[in-house]
Amino acid sequence: MAIETNHVESTFLLTQSSTQDLVRRGVSEGVIDYLPQSSLQDPVKIKKFLSETHAACFSNPDL
């Protein structure tokens, strides 16, 4: 959900293999591989965005 939210908002764009790896292994272990047209191209910042989005989504049990 966090990856798709950021794709929709165009915060960053990841390759399909990177998205699959992040889903499979999680944000801390997953590989960040962004597309050339991604506005954000810093893997550390992308992981931070993903972690914060994930935390926000799951901090509210009504979502």
How do residues 1-40 score in pLDDT, each as one tens digit?
556 655 556 778 899 899 899 989 988 899 999 999 898 9
Rounded distance between C-alpha atoms, residue 60 and residue 63, angstroms: 6
- Closest by CA position to 51, among listed 10, 1, 15, 14: 1
Q: Supply the pLDDT for residue 2.
A: 57
Q: Where are the domains of the chain?
A: 2-59
Rounded distance between C-alpha atoms, residue 18 and residue 34, angstroms: 8
Residue by residue, DSSP assigns 5-27 as HHHHTTS--B-HHHHHHHHHH-T
**What is the pTM (predicted TM-score) of this model?**
0.75
Averaged pLDDT, 43-55: 88
61 pLDDT higher than 80: no
- Closest by CA position to 30, among listed 44, 41, 40: 44
